[in-house]
A and B are shown apart, each in its own frame.
Chain A
Amino acid sequence: MPEVYIDGKEFEFEGKPKLLQFMLDNGLEVPFFCYHPSMSIPANCRQCMVKVGLPVKDRETGEYELDENGERVIRWFPKLQTSCNTDMSEGMVVLTQETDELVKRAQKDTLEFILANHPLDCPICDQAGECPLQIQTYKYGPEGSRFEVKKVHKPKRVKLGPRVTLDAERCINCTRCVRFTDEISQTHQLTIVSRGDKNYPITAPGREFNDPYSLNTVDICPVGALTSADFRFKARVWEMNQTPSIDISNGKGCNIDLWTRDNIVLRITPRYNEYVNDHWMPDVGREAYKIFNENRISKPQIKLDGETVKSSWNNALETFAEQIESSASDELLFVGSAHASVEENYLISKMANLLGAATPLFVPHIIEGSGDGFLLADDQAPNTSGCRLLGLQETDAEALRSKFDNAKVVILLNDNLADRKILTEDDLDKVYTVFFGTNRGHTSETADLVIPVTVAAEHAASYVNVDGRIQRTFPAKETKYANRRLNLEMSEGRLDRYGTSFDNWVTEDNKVDCMPLWNIFHDIGERLGLNLPYGSGREIMSEISDTLPSFKGVSYEKMDDLSGIQLTKETKQVKTK
């Protein structure tokens, strides 16, 4: 394999990698702004400068020329090179800021230029704390400033579109946002206008930046020039906890991070997964953070004389047990949900099985033609494939309704079938309805017994996306009965790790009074004498992988290591550049 020498260390490489990406892949650091691995390379920020040389070869023999010490003679490029667009070649010698004073100086010089017209309003800037310019200035920038003249003024607080706000003064003209709309979302909605130090990105006159993927530009903006209109000024980065999760608003199952503070999800950002969503996610998936916070069912509800009242957990579970016990097995109708996790659907399936009832049904939530062939699938639910692989019986609205005639008790897993117009209030009134749900809606209002369960942001559970890839979530929010310090699945924020116990904001009202389905079923199992001894999604998944061939070999550890596991063969390539 050909080799290169970076700062005196030897590395082997394959193929034709670009120097910067190769260094990043090998854990070396070079500052950069405009480069993005999934987009074209404009080499315009001039930050990733390194010194590059090639060994001199004798033209006739093809041997390397050696100097008097037996070392290879190196011919250095006359100018420093931007490593982002430098093709690597055999024997190349590279000096970075670690070993070369000129490189160090050049990087400092470029940062000085970038900062010359940058507002330096970090204290009020949303990007502060996760800002490549801030971080790299600390590491490689000049001390102080020699810029004593007036900075350039440009438009501020420009509403580019419904979701993105521009501060042109902060912009360093890396053109990442422009390239994103040209190359990734391909709406071509942004361009750079004006020249020199007066230029900034904006839409064509009179047009708005309503790209369905517009918020990705906020993520890739290396400064605080593009900010999310929704998240702007809501929280400082260092006050939030970042928890990996899966987008549950669409069947594509984009990998995401949930950003929480005081048990409220404040924003969602995409998490890199080369097999699913690369670095991107659709804007609708980000707005889905609201379903974790708002309109949640908290505490069980029961219908008494036509009126819905709050109930104690004990009363609710006892009522459920009574309903089951007083019905024959063929009077029970279990309905699973593509909106619930693999583990929850498995549980409901298992309970039906133990009680001798029919296999649970489920109605997929697919809106034909609503997808875009990129990161939005027609499937509106995160786990349709999971329900199929678990062997739940797929059905449609009509067939489901007809089953209501012979049923006495219907057990609905988290799926708002009334609002989806699959079931009507009349259907639900015909039977005794038990709803294990997360969010309020017509289904929860109509059901006779409502038992609140945790959402994806509150439990560790897995979902199988439209392409057959199983991926899992982590708990990001505490419920009333969960303690983040005892729950080892929960991510630690900076304040968890370094703060005092007074630093973390804890508002009890933000904790929803709900429980994971396995905890509820554990309790019900004991009341009904059924063997449902599960304490976590992890235990359920290990049973699933032992018993169901489609899930063979699946475990949380493996999902974490491999960023999800492909269960079925049908893989669709993510559209990247």
Chain B
Amino acid sequence: MKMTSDMAVDWKNYEPVLIPNIPDLHKIDVYEKHGGYQAFKKVLTDKKSWPEPKSVVNEVKEANIRGRGGAGFNAGLKWSFMPPADGKPRYLACNGDESEPGTFKDRKIFEYNPHVFIEGALIAAYAMQITTIYVYIRGEYGDYIKMMEKAIDDAYKKGYIGKNIFDSDYSVDFYVHSGAGAYICGEETSMLESLEGKRGYPRVKPPFPAQKGLWGRPTTINNIETLSHVVSVINKGADWFKNVGAKNHPGPILYGISGHVNRPGVYELPSGVPILDLINEVAGGIRNGKKLKAVIPGGSSVPVLRADQLDGVTMDSDSLREVGSMLGTAGMVVMDEDTDMVDMLWRITHFYHHESCGQCTPCRDGTGWLEKIMLRIKNGEGEIKDLDLLLDITTQMEGRTICALADAAAWPVRHTITRFRDEFEARCKKSIHAA
């Protein structure tokens, strides 16, 4: 089923809420002037609208903010998994590791509007009666780590973080933790290991972080963008949020568009924008007047789509699933007609080989094998049988490991080969067994 244009969302009249066009919004005074920290204040002090923390959880659950880190799980539902508070430490771990190639949306929040994230995290922490918040930012974001530290210091000084906030009995602490440049630490449980000062190995689930997370205590992990959306859910209500964009995947999304377009960048628009509108209108079309060849819609691990698959496809989970891809992080990589898909896939396999943590056998040895075969094909030394071997290896890796990195490494290989098989076969040398 293809969507007709009249079903598409009205994205042209959308007013951004996460990264609005306000100069110096990263400064706390400017943020306050534009209504900053009012949502948090309401939640803490307005007992009529928000009688108890649970009511915040319910509102966020109702808004159906689907996790923007890639998995798309209802954030409020995730919060409701936390066991009742028992007076001992509980944690919120904010995932700003943002390492998926093609994804660069959270850095815009760190850079242009850090306080909307801080406020969202504080509301989330209050809703779950959390005592400590960590924001884990990838080490490569050195400047943004400093900016976040400054923003958190400012919020401490203004009394938004610390003891007895707004004279309530709620207290919370907020820390920035720098990663050391490992992709795997963006996986939520290995991020917890990393926060504990250990090697970034994903944990075996169950137990899930809500039962046993950081230092064995209940922990919730949310993406930076997900938490930032909480502020507008509180300010404007769950109904407003639900009515922005696609029905099953509502709310604004930060689209990170990169690749062969005229105006790459991060754009805040409703979910469900047609992919072709994003490329041709938002991002100004393919550069140098070239033709579109392929799009990776949500970060390097999601299946690539051919240009001829894109008619009527919109950026939301349902529509993308129909054509055999996923929304992921909405970090879109656009490729023009000159793109060599073999080189592209080799580069992706190189990345996953480099970033596999090495804990589980199928991923540790599978990613390396994938890259080595891809290198052989790229160098014109591959054979047709190698393509089938690649597909075999992806089947052997998928769903057989502790975390989803093996899947993330296997999908691009499987789908790029099946969707661009001619190109791969053309690069292979004729097998001596071929007729």
Q: A residues engaging B (CB < 8 A)? A: 41-47, 49, 78-80, 85, 106, 109-110, 112-114, 116-117, 146-147, 149-150, 152, 172-173, 191-192, 194-199
Q: Does the CB pair B362–A46 fall under 8 Å?
A: yes
27 CB < 8 A contacts A-B: A41-B204, A42-B359, A44-B201, A44-B360, A45-B360, A45-B361, A46-B401, A49-B400, A78-B399, A80-B400, A106-B396, A106-B400, A109-B362, A113-B361, A113-B366, A113-B369, A116-B368, A116-B369, A147-B369, A172-B361, A173-B358, A173-B364, A196-B354, A196-B355, A196-B357, A196-B367, A197-B367
Q: Does the CB pair A196–B400 fall under 8 Å?
A: no
Kindly report which residue of chain B lies nearest to residue A198, judged by CB atoms.
B358
Q: Which of A45, A116, A197 is packed against the most chain B CB atoms within 10 Å?
A: A197
Cα A442 to Cα B400 with chains together (Å): 64
**Is B344 part of the contact surface with A, judged by Cβ < 8 Å?**
no
Q: Which of A42, A110, A172, A197 contacts B356 (CB 8 A)?
A: A197
Cα A114 to Cα B365 with chains together (Å): 7
Cα A556 to Cα B389 with chains together (Å): 59
Cα A45 to Cα B158 with chains together (Å): 50
Q: Does the CB pair B204–A85 fall under 8 Å?
A: yes
Cα A307 to Cα B204 with chains together (Å): 71
The interface residues of chain A, by DSSP majority, are classed as: loop
**Is B135 part of the contact surface with A, judged by Cβ < 8 Å?**
no
Indicate with 1 or 0, residue by residue over B396-435, a CB within 8 angstroms of chain A CB atoms: 1001111000000000000000000000000000000000
Measured CB to CB, the closest approach of chain B to A496, in angstroms, equals 38
Kindly report which residue of chain B lies nearest to residue A116, judged by CB atoms.
B365
> In the complex, which residues of chain B have a beta carbon less than 8 angstroms from the beta carbon of A106?
396, 400
Cα A4 to Cα B201 with chains together (Å): 32
Cα A85 to Cα B205 with chains together (Å): 10
Indicate with 1 or 0, residue by residue over B365-379, a CB within 8 angstroms of chain A CB atoms: 111110011001000
Indicate with 1 or 0, residue by residue over B176-215, a CB within 8 angstroms of chain A CB atoms: 0000001010000000000000010100100000000000
Measured CB to CB, the closest approach of chain A to B74, in angstroms, equals 20
> In the complex, which residues of chain B have a beta carbon less than 8 angstroms from the beta carbon of A45?
360-361
Q: B residues engaging A (CB < 8 A)? A: 182, 184, 199, 201, 204, 353-362, 364-369, 372-373, 376, 389, 396, 399-402
Measured CB to CB, the closest approach of chain B to A82, in angstroms, equals 8
How many residue pairs between the two chains, A and B, have CB atoms under 8 Å in the bound complex?
92
> In the complex, which residues of chain A have a beta carbon less than 8 angstroms from the beta carbon of B365?
113-114, 116-117, 197
> In the complex, which residues of chain A have a beta carbon less than 8 angstroms from the beta carbon of B367?
196-197
Measured CB to CB, the closest approach of chain A to B186, in angstroms, equals 14
Q: Does the CB pair A196–B204 fall under 8 Å?
A: no
* Contact A173 B368, CB 8 Å, known A41-B204, A109-B396, A113-B396: no
Measured CB to CB, the closest approach of chain A to B429, in angstroms, equals 14
Q: Which of B199, B358, B361, B372 contacts A191 (CB 8 A)?
A: B199
Cα A337 to Cα B362 with chains together (Å): 57
Cα A80 to Cα B395 with chains together (Å): 13
> In the complex, which residues of chain A have a beta carbon less than 8 angstroms from the beta carbon of B353?
196-197
Measured CB to CB, the closest approach of chain B to A112, in angstroms, equals 7
Q: Does the CB pair A42–B204 fall under 8 Å?
A: yes
Q: Does the CB pair B364–A197 fall under 8 Å?
A: yes
Q: Does the CB pair B204–A46 fall under 8 Å?
A: no
Cα A106 to Cα B204 with chains together (Å): 19
Q: Which of B356, B369, B400 contacts A46 (CB 8 A)?
A: B400
Measured CB to CB, the closest approach of chain A to B170, in angstroms, equals 37
> In the complex, which residues of chain A have a beta carbon less than 8 angstroms from the beta carbon of B402?
43-44
Q: Does the CB pair A196–B199 fall under 8 Å?
A: no
Closest 10 CB pairs of A and B: A149-B372, A109-B396, A196-B356, A113-B365, A199-B358, A197-B368, A79-B399, A196-B358, A116-B365, A44-B359
Cα A109 to Cα B362 with chains together (Å): 8
Q: Does the CB pair B358–A110 fall under 8 Å?
A: no
Cα A47 to Cα B400 with chains together (Å): 10
Q: Does the CB pair B368–A117 fall under 8 Å?
A: yes
Q: Does the CB pair A79–B400 fall under 8 Å?
A: yes
* Contact A46 B358, CB 8 Å, known A113-B366, A149-B373, A195-B182: no
Q: Which of B182, B373, B396 is packed against the most chain A CB atoms within 10 Å?
A: B396
Q: Which of A43, A116, A117, A152 contacts B204 (CB 8 A)?
A: A43
Cα A44 to Cα B357 with chains together (Å): 11
Measured CB to CB, the closest approach of chain B to A556, in angstroms, equals 45
> In the complex, which residues of chain B have a beta carbon less than 8 angstroms from the beta carbon of A41?
204
Cα A142 to Cα B416 with chains together (Å): 27
Measured CB to CB, the closest approach of chain B to A288, in angstroms, equals 36
Q: Does the CB pair B362–A110 fall under 8 Å?
A: yes
Cα A116 to Cα B368 with chains together (Å): 10
> In the complex, which residues of chain B have a beta carbon less than 8 angstroms from the beta carbon of A116?
365, 368-369
Q: Does the CB pair B361–A196 fall under 8 Å?
A: no
Q: Does the CB pair A149–B376 fall under 8 Å?
A: yes
* Contact A195 B400, CB 8 Å, known A117-B365, A146-B389, A172-B361: no
> In the complex, which residues of chain A have a beta carbon less than 8 angstroms from the beta carbon of B357?
195-196
> In the complex, which residues of chain A have a beta carbon less than 8 angstroms from the beta carbon of B368?
116-117, 152, 196-197
Measured CB to CB, the closest approach of chain A to B375, in angstroms, equals 8
Kindly report which residue of chain B lies nearest to residue A110, judged by CB atoms.
B361
* Contact A112 B396, CB 8 Å, known A46-B362, A147-B369, A192-B199: yes
> In the complex, which residues of chain B have a beta carbon less than 8 angstroms from the beta carbon of A198?
358
Q: Which of B361, B367, B369, B372 is packed against the most chain A CB atoms within 10 Å?
A: B361
> In the complex, which residues of chain B have a beta carbon less than 8 angstroms from the beta carbon of A172?
361
> In the complex, which residues of chain B have a beta carbon less than 8 angstroms from the beta carbon of A194?
358
Cα A68 to Cα B241 with chains together (Å): 46
> In the complex, which residues of chain A have a beta carbon less than 8 angstroms from the beta carbon of B399?
78-80
> In the complex, which residues of chain B have a beta carbon less than 8 angstroms from the beta carbon of A113?
361-362, 364-366, 369, 396
Measured CB to CB, the closest approach of chain A to B395, in angstroms, equals 8
Cα A244 to Cα B299 with chains together (Å): 59
> In the complex, which residues of chain B have a beta carbon less than 8 angstroms from the beta carbon of A192?
199, 358
Cα A106 to Cα B182 with chains together (Å): 28
Q: Which of B355, B357, B365, B366 is packed against the most chain A CB atoms within 10 Å?
A: B365
